[in-house]
Each structure stands twice: as structure tokens, then as C-alpha cells.
Amino acid sequence: MKLDDTDREILRMLQADARTPFSEIARRIDMSSATVHDRVGRMEEAGVIEGYHATVDPKAVGYGVRALVGLRVEQGREEDALGRLREIEGVRAIHLTTGEWDVILRVVAEDTDSLRELMFEGIADMDGFSRSQTMIVLGTDYEADGPPI
Amino acid sequence: MKLDDTDREILRMLQADARTPFSEIARRIDMSSATVHDRVGRMEEAGVIEGYHATVDPKAVGYGVRALVGLRVEQGREEDALGRLREIEGVRAIHLTTGEWDVILRVVAEDTDSLRELMFEGIADMDGFSRSQTMIVLGTDYEADGPPI
DNA sequence: GTTGAAAAAATATTGAG
DNA sequence: CTCAATATTTTTTCAAC
């Protein structure tokens, strides 16, 4: 789908705040809210807008620790290994990467104890991985909600 | 703020779809929508709900490449170095971590050429960093929208 | 594609238990 | 904290340009 500048402006506003009323968006881009409605619908349809999500503070729901976990996967075990990772609740993202690691996970855990459990009873111990490294996130200096628009 | 199971259910629904009508949430948890409204308001107030965001497909807005970038920061240059990273549009997250790297960035770029530019004219070349490694994301096998609730 | 206006639906507010 | 009822606002639809 081809996006024009108006579409991008709408995306930018909805990315910043998914609850911005169409009427407010319409006012800012000087068009009718029916047009905004129409464009948003088409962008949803086309998959440009993948969804709308509330951002929840992980600490508030009991997850105090974030980490990135680098993994080396043994040859030929990829599918099986990834499938099992996906079943683990604390595993929030599974990226296949170039460089030092085959896979990098983004994980959350309640505390360092439960992270240790996740790693040493959950992941590092799994068949199919030959090496792992846990990089605990001490803090996040900056985090944007999506791509620049 | 202390959350009960009802709050968590509401959070789960809004995390999955921020546009779920309060009336629909109310129906599912068997309460009035005024109650849902009230609880959501309090969770927003308390910062449990940090915001509502449309998830935009990066490819659709021209960002075909994602990468994780590990950086080593020279002693005493932390603040300055991080400040400059924050100014770079393609840098979407800046995590301070334990382990092999002091900082891990999540970056997006239009293509591999522009990623190279970002790295070799933007970041690797910056004062304050002694070492870097770029891990290009070949694919994302799984990605959740927030913490498990 | 866009519009204004009407209809439908949702959210915000109020007052009381 | 929860509710029902009401007021307000937003979303959605649609005939027309």
C-alpha cells in the first residue's frame, strides 16, 4: 500500500496516542473525520496498522527484571528449539540474528531469582542450545513506541 | 497501586486490543461499564497503563531493517554519549546492560545501506564508544506486546 | 477521495446504595 | 467500590460531489 503524507500524519498521531479521536485528527490535518475514518480503515485493512495496544508498566504487574539473552542453536535443531522457547511465558520476543548469536531473546522475569530459574531450569538447560549469555537490562534510557514516521 | 484479578483481566484485554469498548470488557467480566471506566481511569492515573499506541508495520513506513547494536562506553563519557544516541532517529531503544556490552541499542533503518551509514557515520564513529557490534535481525519468530498478565 | 449530516454506538458523568 | 441512568462525544454510515 502506498502512503501519502496525510496517511503518515495520521499514523504518527495514532502511534503516539491510539485514543486520539478521529475528530481531533481531522481537525489537525484539516479534513473531515469521515476521511480520517476511511484512511484508517484502509491502513488497518492493508496491515499498515497492525493493532492497538495499551502499554502496561511491567513493574506494576510484577515483572521487575528485563533481560536480553543471546543463544547459539545447534545445527538442525532450530525449529524444535524455537518452538519450545515460544512456550515460555517470560520470553517476550525471539529474534534470529546475525553476529555472535543465532537467537536473541527479550525476556521478563519477576525478579533476579526467577530470572535465574528461567535461565537455568528453562532455557540454558534446554536441548538444542550450545551456549547462552544473559544481559540484564539495568535501565532503559530511551524507548520509542515504533518506527519513526 | 495494588491490582486485583479484575484489574488484570481489564489490562489483558486492553493490552491485546486497546480499542475494546468498555461495554465489551464489562460484559466479559460481568460488571458495569462505569466500573470498567473507573478502574481504567485509576490505572492510567497510577501509571499502570502508560499509554495507548497503534502498532505500525515498520516496513510499510520504509524501515526494512532492524538490528541490535552492542556498545562499549568509555569511562566517564556515559551521559554525553547516551545523549547523542538519543538524537539519532533510527535509534529506537537504549538499554544499559550487564554483560558483554554497556549499552544495547535497538535500531531501525531503511535498508542495509542506510544501516551501514547509521553505524559507520553515526554511531561507531562517535566519541565515547570503544567498541561496537551490530546484530542484524534476520527475522522475528515471536513478539509479544508487553509483559504477561 | 472527499464531504456534511444523520444514525448508531461508545464513553464520561452523576447521584445513590 | 459498584451500579443504573443520563449526558456528551465519538464512530460509523451514506447519499452526493
Interface of A with B in 5-34 (CB under 8 A): 8, 11, 14-19
Residues 6 or more apart from A46 whose CB is under 8 A from it? Answer: A1, B60
pLDDT mean over B1-21: 96
In chain B, residues with a C-beta closer than 8 Å to the C-beta of A50 are: 55-57
Q: Which residues contact B76 (CB under 8 A, 6 or more apart)?
A: none
Q: For chain A, what's the residue count?
A: 149
Cell of A138: 539495568
Distance of CA B96 to the CA centre of its chain: 14
In chain B, the N- to C-terminal Cα span, in Å, equals 15
Q: Does the global pTM surpass 0.85?
A: yes
Query: Are residues A138 and B96, on separate chains, in Cβ contact within 8 Å?
Result: yes
DSSP letter at A122 equals I
Q: What own/partner pairs with CB < 8 Å and gap ≥ 24 does B126-129 have?
A: B126/B81, B126/B84, B126/B85, B127/B77, B127/B81, B128/B73, B128/B74, B128/B77, B128/B78, B128/B80, B128/B81, B128/B84, B129/B71, B129/B72, B129/B73, B129/B74, B129/B81
Cβ neighbours of B63 in A, within 8 Å: 147-148
Mutual orientation of helices B5-16 and B22-29 as an angle, nearest 10°? Answer: 140
Query: Nearest-CA distance from B72 to chain A in Å?
Result: 13
- Work out the pLDDT band at B39, boundaries 50, 70, 90: very high
Percent over 90 (pLDDT), chain A:
96
Q: Model confidence over A24-70: pLDDT tens digits?
A: 999 999 999 999 999 999 999 999 999 999 999 999 999 999 999 99
B147 contacts A86? CB cut-off 8 A: no
Closest-CA distance, B23 to chain A, in angstroms, reads 16
CB B105 within 8 Å of CB B94: yes
pLDDT tens per residue across span B100-147: 999 999 999 999 999 999 999 999 889 999 999 999 999 999 999 999
Q: Is the pLDDT of residue B73 over 90?
A: yes
Through-space separation of residue B90 CA and nucleotide C11 C1' in angstroms: 37
In whole angstroms, give the CA distance from residue B147 to residue A64. Answer: 10
Structural domains of chain B sorted by starting position, each given as residue range(s) with its CATH number in brackets: 5-45 (1.10.10.10), 58-136 (3.30.70.920)
d(CA A48, CA A12) in angstroms, rounded, equals: 12
